[in-house]
Structure 1
């Protein structure tokens, strides 16, 4: 099995690439910069370059796909088309697509959700046997400086979701385990699997860190993220949190089931927090 991992220089793709390499698989890591984890063959490509994407699939039998933080439907559709066409031409035996978030049951008008819904549909309808993984929020979000500083200095966990909303969480390591299982497991073709652990409220999450919870205004969150990731990306991400606060209270509260089907164990927030030296706990 030779696996092409998209986004190998990023948090999600990097975790997947490292896990596969550690398991002894041949891994080619595609990224825009050409960076890749140790033990992974680096491959520099822009997803908008169809020829370069096709080159990346040379000799590949399986692929793990995550899209960049781009929410404009036009370029995202082109990225997906390039991936599907290249994977089809290469005769890829299994493609695993991580949406980067749960997908609401109904259409939302939120580009961050709808571009991924369209991408998942395109891959599942393609000739390539595909599996779609829909993670909830990532525990690593809580290691962002603006969250970490509040935990360590004040014993306050701040996050842009109302305290009463129940959230499921997943670590990047758990995503890597799920991706490995989805790439190699039998009878999974065509499946869309929600991932995540037992949903918790904001105060319950904060208790895992020995802290109290404080909901952050989404506008303030967007402004802070814009300083790091740029205004377009920040606006796209913030729109998902606005939708969750206004209409999507159950997006992460429904039972997941994907982890059980894949045979993996999801790390709890408490277990994840216990390994962090900076946490107030």
Structure 2
């Protein structure tokens, strides 16, 4: 079998490559850098804005793992259209798409919704992984440095906002399992259940670092300022808009009926397990 992995050198794709390589599977790592070196994988450079390059990468693939890059939403929509066109042309045997937490309701008009809808219409075997928030977001310098230096964990959600947090490692576990489960289609939710709150996160960080850590709610605009140097103004504005939208919701908890726990028998890592595993 041949596995094609988008963003293979990044935070989301790299764990999928590592898991497949460890299992001795043949992996094609898609990157924008033709000189990239990816352990255990053949590197293929492909531009998300080129249907032709993506089609060539997908041809003959038994499975493809897709997620959209962190760029402006306008660019993400363009990428989504090209990916769908390439899937239609190449018709890989199986496609697994991670929404990265973006909404996929058709009415939103967002890139993730375009991609999810396009895959459904393409007539290929596919599944959509739907996480809520990534634990790796808490490793951004603005957040983890505040934990270390001030004993607070700042994040743009209410203190009572319960969410089913997940790690990129949990997404990789689900993706690898779904490659071999063509009987599972549609949306698979991934995240901790029961959901946890900001103070729960702070308590886990405190236990890990051996100190008292308090949760500090901040505004989406404050968060925008902290992530702009990392991802750029356009994507940072989109992130702020996302958290503004989240502030109107009562919670962001996964649905158990279509969860990885129920469908795949995979239990996501707790915050403490994740912290211990990454070794910070």
Q: Where do residues 248-259 of structure 1 align in structure 2 (5 Å cutoff)?
A: 248-252=249-253, 254-255=255-256, 257-259=258-260
For residue 172 of structure 2, the aligned residue among 172, 176, 179 is 176
CA distance in 2 between partners of 1:105 and 1:252 (Å): 16
Residue 150 of structure 2 is aligned to residue 154 of structure 1: yes
- Provide the residue aligned with 2:223 in structure 1: 221
CA distance in 2 between partners of 1:256 and 1:240 (Å): 25
Output the TM-score relative to the length of structure 1: 0.89
Moved over 6 A (4+): none
For residue 134 of structure 1, the aligned residue among 119, 130, 138 is 130
**1:209 partner SS:** helix
Which sections of structure 1, spanning at least 5 residues, go unmatched? none
Change in 2 beyond 3 A, CA 1:50/1:102: closer
Residue 194 of structure 2 is aligned to residue 194 of structure 1: no
Residue 61 of structure 2 is aligned to residue 60 of structure 1: yes
Which sections of structure 2, spanning at least 5 residues, go unmatched? 207-212
Q: CA deviation at 1:83?
A: 2.3
Change in 2 beyond 3 A, CA 1:20/1:145: same
Q: Where do residues 92-103 of structure 1 align in structure 2 (5 Å cutoff)?
A: 92-101=92-101, 103=103
Residues 5-61 of structure 1, C-alpha deviation per residue, up to 9 Å, x if partnerless?
A: 111121001111111111111111111123353111111111111221122123322
Output the TM-score relative to the length of structure 2: 0.89
State which drifts further: 22-31 or 247-256: 247-256
Change in 2 beyond 3 A, CA 1:238/1:32: same
Q: In angstroms, what is the RMSD of aligned CA positions?
A: 2.1
**1:100 partner SS:** coil
Aligned residue pairs, count: 271
- Provide the residue aligned with 2:264 in structure 1: 262
